[in-house]
């Protein structure tokens, strides 16, 4: 292993291994350097420069996410120059597009006309759909800036709503490129990239087509990566707010990968699903089924009461009656035809605990080894 080297951040002496960036070292020691474009497990692009820090002896501020840590380097992460630079970046980002959370202005001068314009673009009277869950908004508060310093720039592209899962709101895109990296470097679906140049830049699928006609497989990795409100789940947009929804961690119930996910619960309903970042086995990634295929939980077709068939028709029954009937019928078949005339098909869909109980039920109660599941099928 390479020899340990040392550097100083904000007056504290830290060791690091060569190859680490300033950001890596800082994060490891819980020093909070803000980032927007940086995406874990992707090659850093240095696109947004919000992570700039003051490195003693360097001519310019350096982006922490791409600058390698070096022996005896002395770094300040919140010097006046750093704060000035970050404020400027934020002001520029806030002035372009429909960033209508309350950070735009404090004097209220053109607030009303701006809100009205956004309202007509959005088709909603509410503030930005990711209010309270937006990195840009968070940083605007942290550095106390608004979008009023520069005159607003027009949004060049209309919203895309034609696919069933994701709303692409180009007016709120800050061109950080995280979605592109998420798509190409994390999920490797290679569906989107940066199209056009300069002020016309836009994140596009091949040929600037809607996602539904592209290679997109609706994994939603880009939605989870987007730090702002430019990519939002269609069904959750404006409906799910971070302060009203509870997150419950669980395991996906579709395929055998076993992705770790949060179920976002609002008013006793699962309203959104997101991947658990930084945890095995999926590190935040999900697929279209795991992320968007949760409607079955609250489907009206769910069974809610036991059913007993009489004369070829089902009728609703009380648990007591249904359980008694099952126990009595199984018992009498066991009695007259022997335990091996009965079988149990347990399930690849239920829990380990339940499979264990099914195994105990078949063997200890029915006294048969006729138990299997449908995984062969």
Partner 1 sequence: MTNTIGDIEDADVILVTGSNTTENHPVLSRHIKRAVSFKGAKLILVDPRRIKLARFAHLWLRQNLGTDVVWINGMMRVIISEDLYDQSFVETRTEGFDEMKKMVEKFTPEFVEEITGIPAADLVAAARLYAGAGAASILYCMGITQHSHGTDNVKSLANLAMLCGHMGIPGGGVNPLRGQNNVQGACDMGGLPNVYSGYQAVSDLAIAKKMEEAWGVTDLPTQPGLTVTQMVPKAHEGEFKALYIIGENPLVSDPDLNHAEQSLKHLDFLVVQDIFLTETAELADVVLPAKSFAEKDGTFSNTERRVQRIRKAVDPPGQAKDDWEILCEVATRMGFEMHYEDSEAIFNELARVTPSYAGISYERIEQDGLHWPCPTPGHPGTPILHREQFTRGKGLFHAIDYIPPAEQTDDDYPLYLTTGRVLYHYHTGTMTMKTDGLNERVPECFVEISPKDAALYELENGERVEIASRRGKIQARIQVSDKAVSGTVFIPFHFAGAAANRLTNAQLDPVSKIPEYKVCAVRLSRAA
Distance separating alpha carbons of residues 104 and 148, to the nearest angstrom: 6
Instruction: Give 321's DSSP letter.
Output: H
82 binds ligand FES (CB under 6 A): no
- How far is Cα 314 from Cα 331, in angstroms, rounded to an integer? 22
- Judged by beta carbon, residue 38 or residue 172, the one nearer ligand FES is 38
Nearest to 285 by CA among 231, 215, 219, 236: 219
The strand order across the sheet containing 52-55 reads 12-16, 5-9, 74-76, 52-55, 62-63
Q: What is the DSSP string of 173-230?
A: -----HHHHIIIIIS----EEEES-GGG-EEEEGGG--GGGSS-----HHHHH-SSSS
Taking the C-alpha atoms of residue 118 and residue 121, their distance in angstroms, rounded to an integer, is 5
CB of 46 vs ligand FES, minimal distance in Å: 4
Which CB, 22 or 228, lies closer to ligand SF4? 228
The answer to whether 172 and 99 have CB atoms below 8 angstroms apart is: yes
Residue 227 binds to ligand FES (criterion: CB under 6 A)? no
Of 50 and 128, nearer to ligand FES (C-beta) is 50
Contact pick of 83, 105, 265, 277 for partner 1 (by CB under 8 A): 265
Q: Which does 65 bind (CB under 5 to 8 A by kind): partner 1, ligand FES, ligand SF4, none?
A: ligand FES
The answer to whether 377 contacts partner 1 (rule: CB under 8 A) is yes
Q: Least distance in Å: CB of 186 to ligand SF4?
A: 8
Among 62, 174, 204, 245, binds ligand SF4 (CB under 6 A): 174
Q: 63, 147, 275, 290: which one contacts ligand FES (CB under 6 A)?
A: 63
> From the list ligand SF4, ligand FES, partner 1, none, which binds 48 (C-beta under 5 to 8 Å, kind-based)?
ligand FES
Pairing mode, strands 231-233 and 202-205: unpaired
Site string for ligand FES, 19-48 (x = CB under 6 A): ----------------xxxx-------xxx
Binding site for ligand FES (CB under 6 A): 35-38, 46-51, 63, 65
């Amino acid at each position: 292993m390479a020899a340990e080297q040392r550097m100083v951040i904000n007056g504290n002496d830290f060791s690091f291994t060569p190859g680490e960036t300033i950001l890596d070292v800082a994060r490891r020691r819980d020093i909070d350097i803000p980032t927007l474009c940086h995406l874990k497990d992707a090659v850093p692009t240095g696109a947004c420069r919000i992570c700039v820090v003051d490195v003693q002896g360097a001519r310019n501020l350096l982006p922490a996410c791409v600058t390698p840590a070096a022996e005896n380097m002395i770094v300040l992460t919140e010097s006046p120059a750093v704060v000035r630079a970050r404020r400027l970046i934020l002001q520029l980002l806030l002035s372009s597009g429909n960033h209508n959370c309350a950070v735009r202005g404090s004097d209220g001068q053109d607030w009303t006309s701006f809100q009205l314009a956004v309202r007509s673009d959005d088709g909603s009277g509410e503030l930005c759909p990711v209010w309270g869950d937006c990195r840009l908004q968070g940083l605007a508060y942290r550095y106390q800036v608004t979008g009023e310093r520069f005159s607003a720039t027009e949004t060049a592209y209309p919203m895309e709503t034609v696919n069933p899962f994701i709303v692409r709101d180009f007016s709120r895109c800050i061109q950080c490129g995280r979605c592109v990296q998420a798509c190409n470097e994390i999920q490797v679906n290679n569906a989107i990239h940066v199209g056009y140049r300069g002020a016309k830049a836009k994140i596009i699928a091949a040929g600037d087509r809607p996602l539904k006609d592209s290679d997109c497989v609706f994994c939603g990795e880009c939605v989870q990566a987007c730090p702002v409100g430019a990519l939002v789940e269609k069904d959750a947009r404006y409906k799910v707010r971070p302060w009203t929804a509870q997150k419950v961690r669980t395991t996906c119930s579709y395929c055998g990968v076993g992705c770790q996910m949060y179920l976002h619960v609002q008013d006793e309903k699962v309203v959104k699903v997101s991947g658990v970042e930084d945890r095995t086995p999926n590190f935040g990634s999900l697929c279209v089924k795991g992320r968007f295929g949760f409607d079955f939980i609250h489907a009206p077709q769910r069974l809610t009461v036991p059913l007993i068939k009489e004369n070829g028709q089902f009728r609703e029954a009380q648990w007591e009656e249904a359980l008694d009937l099952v126990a009595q019928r199984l018992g009498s078949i066991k009695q007259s035809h022997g335990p091996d005339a009965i079988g149990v098909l347990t399930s690849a869909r239920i829990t380990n605990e339940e499979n264990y109980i099914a195994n105990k039920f078949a063997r200890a109660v029915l006294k048969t080894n006729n138990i299997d599941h449908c995984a062969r099928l």
